[in-house]
């Protein structure tokens, strides 16, 4: 795959390196001052000169050979006058321009800030002054439910009893799941809302940054004894553009305007110009040079007699038809027609064209960058498989699980009632009890209970209509029936698992920050106290919970996570790896569930160590992780679950069609790596037989260097890389990564921020020069859509923000196939034919003028004047030429059936300098035949030359349109006869140009017919021979 990539080998042997190093140290002695540019350089800056393909030993041993090369180069620069002449003036000009641009576009430095609550009496502040304040109070914002948050805030207070609420972040990170946010406990405990204005407290917030998943700050209240200090994290924040999903919230504003996370992750839109327009601009420049050259030739052949410069400008005006002034008008009208056809297509209903400049770009795409959630998938999870090691349950055997759960709980309560009759309190079994093999029923029960307890799901009940509260904490009358309950969580996988446990009889009915309640099939309520929660992170790839059963006082540590993280934690088994592979091949998202029973002493020891680790100032994350890992040993493997993310309709055939069309597909998502890989397999973005190279997490230049070497050795494999690793590689090895990734059949980038998505698009544009298309459905995709050459938005669950910002809006992902294969292909080929024909129309009349001037001693006299010149480009030829926008080479069904036809368009063969030169030769031939034929056949009067040549010219243009057309439309026939009728009708009014008596004679008719046949017949013969001897690909299908 990448053997041909130049990886910049070492430029010299050890001797050369040592000589350069010696020159460096001799030039700058031990006490000399080194160039300041490198004083703050990172330790790995010398890697600039390293070859990418090196062994690990070479990486370690050869560092010193490259350490001095960049510095040695600095001293080799020329100085003085020689330096200025050899390029110093350019450097100075560039520096001055950069300085002026920086002055004009200077951005305000982002700073940390202190935001005071209420109206503090003292004015001195420990931190930088707050810029977000009105004259008296800082800005508090009250936001009711289902309202968008206007700015970035710290969450102070909520009407929810638990002190937390849910928000929707679909317009920020593209995920439709609700996120749980927790109010600052100090302000949540205040007796009344008005106390927020009377306390003496402040929030310290870090300076604004891009990362939407992190925040560091503190909350301090100074008027309490002792002063209250609380650390603030991401769970205490409410970012702008998110929506309050439950309850009402009150927050204090910390970032506004350009400092908000949503604005910082949004790029400015650019004016998009199609590749076809750029190519036509190049051809127009060539025509302008031809116009100037032809005028100079005519003046030169005159001998520069008299005021030659005046004759030069007269020739420039006479040959000005070489410049196709009407080209832009015709193309813009054609683009509007293409947009109208797209929106009227019944096969892609709801499609909206929001641009009138780039419909042809749909026919030139090489890279398609797509979002995952809501674009390829419906973001609706369905539980498909439960595997216990010896037995597997699918969708058709879920009733067996339900019967096992019912039997287990019925036996449990019958035993409990017997124990109560004997006055024996239930006690936890001692860990020293002998192990017995559990029955299938008990194993199923343990697995279902673990799935029902190990999650971050909260049941939400809708309030009854018409109930209002007078006070802030008025209890709403809620309906706790099953029909009124919905589940909310940070991941749809979690919701799918809890919904499945409800379907088999174990229902989550209530949850707050400290407890959760389950309802058994018999209707009993089981209460569990949540002792500790360990949320899912991309580093740990697992989540856990420690709960205490209120009835039995048993303490259990439940954990679930990805198989790569859990395989080393659970007890030895011989089936987990194989079954995970089987489920992954089916496109299922797998989770391994395990548990460990804890004694009271074990838990108390863990809690003390865990609390101590959380209070540490240095390396807090590492210490906390180490304490948690002390529990993650020899856990009992309970089950393996498989959840399917429902794909959008016809995603697989659409992706296959796009691949067959030569389009490379990259998936950019903010979701985690395992989920992205699973969807890539299930959607057939990556084929079942294709290898996947998962780029290991890298944080430094050296790690990226070694990992790129490992990736370079792989051939024909898909790449999966995370956003953090991508950022490191782009910083140091942008060129190498782009070269390697562009040769992959598919690329998946996970944990991508909106700005990273846009940066990847720009990287492809700069490194490959190919046309890119971005498709997404959320607000987090807007930057990517606007950066791409062609942006497509999908109206979905995440709103219309992407749809409104895109160039084209569709309702389903499958519509992109017809949009590209049919409309994109037709638009490009039609515009290419239309543009070249408009050029031909100007070239042919300019050739006739040149021949006429040459025959009459290079006189700068116009051949046609007045209305003839105006009518030639308008009513006489406009309708037939513009009717080319209705032309098509193959039927839409054929274009969809054979997407390989799309590949030819990316090569740009429909409009190139080769096809342009062919049309120039045709114009010169036909112009010369028409003019010389008219001069040979005209009678004694000059007016006959005008009549014969102009009529033959109009007929030639009409016949050339007929020659260019591949599939006739009834409007094309109407346009041909309408133009011919307009010309014949206008002959009666053009007495000053034509001799009416002459044009009604038979002589006029046969002379015009003869000239027209000579000018067009050879072209028809050549077209017939070419179609027989070298037919185009589409003609093979139509035949």
Q: Catalogue the active-site residues.
A: 371
- Give the C-alpha separation, 342 to 809, whole Å: 11
Give the SS3 label for residue 522.
Answer: coil
> Measured between alpha carbons, how far apart are the two ends of the chain, in Å?
38
Cα distance between residue 168 and residue 490, in whole Å = 10
> How many Cα atoms within 13 Å fall on the side-chain side of residue 858?
15
Separation of alpha carbons 802 and 370, rounded Å: 12
Residues 6+ apart with CB under 8 A from 842: 321, 322, 323, 324, 873
Q: Which residue has the tokens 């979002």?
A: 371
Given the structure tokens 């970035």, which residue do they identify? 152
Contact 279/916 with Cβ under 8 angstroms? no
DSSP 65: H
For residues 786 and 779, the answer to whether their CB atoms sit within 8 Å is no
Tell which residue, 234, 171, 244, has the closest CA to residue 754: 171
Quick check: 816 and 803 in contact, CB under 8 A?
Answer: no
- How many angstroms separate the CA atoms of 26 and 939, rounded? 92
> Which distant-in-sequence residues (6+ apart) come within 8 Å of 873 by Cβ?
321, 326, 841, 842
- 636: helix, strand or coil: strand
Provide the β-strand partners of residue 529. Answer: 515, 548
Backbone conformation region of residue 989, classed left if phi is above 0, alpha if psi is from -120 to 50, else beta: alpha
Place of tokens 């198989």: 563
SS (H, E, C) 963-979: HHCCCCCHHHHHHHHHH
Determine the Cα–Cα distance for residues 219 and 694; give it in Å rounded to an integer.
41
In the sheet with 228-232, reading across from the earlier edge strand, the strands are 113-117, 201-205, 217-221, 228-232
Q: Helices 754-768 and 734-742, interaxial angle, to 10°? A: 80
CA pair distance 536, 559, nearest whole angstrom: 10
Three-state DSSP class for residue 685: coil
DSSP letters spanning 693-737? EEPPP--SHHHHHHHHHHHHT--SEEEEEEHHHHHHHHHH-HHHH
**What gap in Å lies between CA 535 and CA 537, rounded to an integer?**
6
Contact call for residues 805 and 285 (beta carbons, < 8 A):
no
Query: What is the DSSP-derived secondary structure letter of residue 795?
Result: -
Phi-psi region of 650 (alpha: psi -120 to 50; beta: other; left: phi over 0): left
SS3 454: coil
- Give the 3-state DSSP-derived string for 329-381, with helices as H, strands as E and coil as C: HHHHHHHHHHHHHHHHCCCCCCCEECCCCCHHHHHCEEEEEECCECCCEEEEE
* Sheet of strand 771-776: strand arrangement: 352-353, 808-810, 790-794, 771-776, 365-370, 664-668, 746-750, 717-722, 691-694
Note whether 847 and 923 are within 8 A (CB). yes
Q: What is the CA radius of gyration of the chain?
A: 38
Q: Counting Cβ atoms within 10 Å, is residue 87 exposed (0-12), middle (13-18) or buried (19+)?
A: exposed
């Amino acid at each position: 795959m990448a053997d041909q990539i130049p990886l910049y080998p070492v430029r010299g042997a050890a001797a050369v390196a040592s000589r350069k190093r010696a020159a460096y140290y001799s030039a700058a002695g031990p006490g000399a001052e080194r160039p300041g540019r490198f004083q703050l350089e990172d330790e790995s800056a010398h890697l600039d000169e390293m070859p990418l393909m090196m062994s690990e030993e070479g990486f370690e041993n050869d560092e010193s050979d490259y350490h001095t090369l960049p510095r040695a180069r600095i001293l080799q620069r020329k100085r003085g006058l020689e330096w200025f002449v050899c390029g110093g003036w350019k450097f100075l000009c560039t520096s001055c321009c950069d300085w002026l641009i920086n002055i004009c576009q200077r951005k305000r430095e982002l700073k940390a800030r202190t935001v005071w609550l209420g109206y503090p009496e003292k004015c001195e502040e420990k931190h930088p002054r707050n810029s977000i304040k009105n004259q008296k109070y800082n800005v508090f914002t009250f936001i009711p439910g289902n309202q968008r948050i206007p700015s970035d805030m710290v969450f102070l207070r909520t009407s929810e009893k638990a002190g937390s609420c849910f928000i929707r972040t679909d317009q920020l990170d593209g995920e439709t799941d609700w996120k749980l946010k927790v109010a600052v406990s100090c302000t949540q405990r205040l007796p009344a809302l008005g106390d927020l204005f009377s306390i003496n407290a402040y929030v310290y917030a870090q300076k604004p940054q891009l990362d939407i998943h992190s925040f560091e700050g503190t909350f301090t209240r100074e008027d309490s004894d002792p002063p209250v200090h609380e650390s603030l994290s991401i769970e205490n924040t409410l970012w702008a553009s998110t929506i309050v999903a439950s309850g009402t919230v009150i927050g204090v504003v910390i970032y506004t305007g350009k400092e908000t996370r949503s604005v910082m992750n949004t790029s400015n839109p650019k004016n998009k110009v199609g590749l076809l327009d750029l190519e036509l601009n190049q051809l127009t420049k060539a025509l302008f040079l031809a116009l100037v050259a032809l005028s100079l030739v005519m003046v030169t052949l005159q001998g520069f007699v008299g005021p030659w410069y005046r004759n030069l400008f007269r020739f420039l005006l006479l040959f000005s038809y070489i410049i196709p002034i009407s080209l832009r008008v015709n193309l813009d009208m054609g683009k509007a027609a293409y947009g109208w056809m797209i929106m009227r297509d019944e096969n892609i209903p709801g499609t909206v064209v929001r641009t009138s400049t780039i419909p042809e770009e749909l026919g030139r795409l090489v890279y398609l960058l797509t979002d995952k959630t809501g674009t390829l998938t419906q973001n609706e999870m369905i539980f498909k498989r439960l595997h216990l090691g010896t037995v597997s349950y699918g969708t058709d055997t879920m009733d067996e699980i339900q019967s096992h759960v019912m039997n287990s709980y019925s036996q449990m309560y019958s035993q409990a009632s017997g124990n109560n009759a004997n006055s024996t309190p239930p006690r936890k079994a001692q860990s020293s009890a002998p192990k017995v093999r559990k029955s299938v029923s008990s194993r199923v029960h343990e697995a279902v209970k673990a799935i029902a307890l190990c999650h971050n799901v909260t049941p939400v009940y809708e309030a009854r209509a018409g109930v209002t509260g007078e006070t802030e904490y008025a209890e709403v009358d809620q309906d706790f029936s099953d029909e009124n309950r919905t589940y909310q969580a940070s991941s749809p996988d979690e919701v799918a698992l809890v919904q499945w446990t409800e379907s088999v009889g174990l229902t989550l009915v209530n949850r707050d920050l400290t407890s959760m309640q389950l309802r058994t099939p018999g209707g009993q309520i089981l209460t569990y106290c949540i002792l500790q929660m360990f949320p899912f992170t991309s580093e740990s790839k697992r989540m856990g919970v420690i709960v205490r059963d209120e009835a039995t006082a048993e303490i259990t540590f439940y954990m679930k996570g990805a198989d790569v993280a859990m395989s080393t934690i659970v007890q030895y088994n011989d089936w987990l790896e194989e079954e995970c592979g089987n489920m992954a091949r089916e496109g299922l998202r797998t989770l391994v569930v395990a548990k460990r029973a804890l004694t009271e002493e074990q838990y108390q020891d863990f809690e003390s160590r865990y609390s101590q680790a959380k209070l540490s100032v240095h390396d807090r994350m590492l210490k906390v992780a180490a304490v948690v890992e002390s529990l993650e040993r020899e856990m009992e493997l309970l089950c393996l679950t498989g959840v399917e993310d429902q794909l959008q309709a016809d995603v697989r055939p659409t992706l296959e069609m796009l691949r067959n069309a030569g389009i490379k597909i990259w998936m950019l998502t903010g979701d985690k790596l395992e989920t992205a890989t699973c969807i890539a397999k299930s959607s057939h973005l990556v084929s079942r037989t294709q290898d996947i190279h998962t780029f290991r997490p890298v944080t430094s230049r050296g790690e990226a260097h070694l990992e790129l070497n490992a990736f370079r050795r792989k051939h024909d494999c898909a790449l999966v890389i995370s956003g953090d690793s991508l950022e490191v590689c782009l910083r140091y090895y942008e060129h190498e990564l782009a070269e390697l990734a562009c040769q992959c059949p598919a690329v998946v980038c996970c944990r991508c921020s909106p700005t990273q998505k846009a940066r990847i698009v720009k990287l492809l544009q700069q490194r490959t020069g190919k046309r890119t298309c971005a498709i997404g459905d959320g607000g987090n995709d807007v930057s990517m859509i606007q950066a791409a050459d062609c942006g497509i938005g999908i109206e979905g669950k995440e709103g219309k923000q992407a749809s409104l910002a895109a160039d084209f809006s569709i309702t389903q992902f499958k519509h992109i196939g017809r949009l590209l294969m049919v409309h994109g292909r037709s638009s490009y080929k039609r515009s290419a034919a239309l543009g070249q024909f408009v050029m031909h129309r100007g070239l042919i009349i300019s050739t006739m003028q040149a021949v006429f001037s040459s025959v009459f001693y290079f006189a700068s006299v116009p051949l046609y004047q007045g209305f003839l010149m105006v009518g030639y480009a308008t009513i006489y030829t406009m309708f037939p030429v513009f009717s080319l926008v209705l032309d098509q080479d193959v039927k839409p069904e054929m274009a969809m059936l054979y997407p390989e036809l799309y590949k030819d368009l990316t090569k740009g063969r429909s409009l190139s300098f080769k096809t342009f030169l062919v049309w120039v030769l045709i114009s010169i031939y036909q112009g010369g035949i028409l003019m010389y034929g008219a001069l040979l056949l005209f009678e004694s009067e000059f007016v006959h030359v005008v009549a014969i040549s102009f009529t033959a010219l109009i007929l030639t243009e009409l016949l050339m349109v007929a020659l260019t057309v591949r599939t006739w439309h009834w409007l094309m026939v109407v346009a041909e006869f309408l133009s011919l009728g307009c010309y014949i009708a206008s002959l009666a009014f053009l007495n000053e140009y034509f001799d009416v008596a002459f044009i009604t004679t038979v002589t006029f008719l046969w002379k015009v017919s003869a000239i027209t046949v000579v000018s067009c017949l050879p072209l028809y013969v050549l077209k017939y021979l070419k179609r027989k001897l070298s037919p185009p690909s589409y003609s093979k299908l139509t035949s």
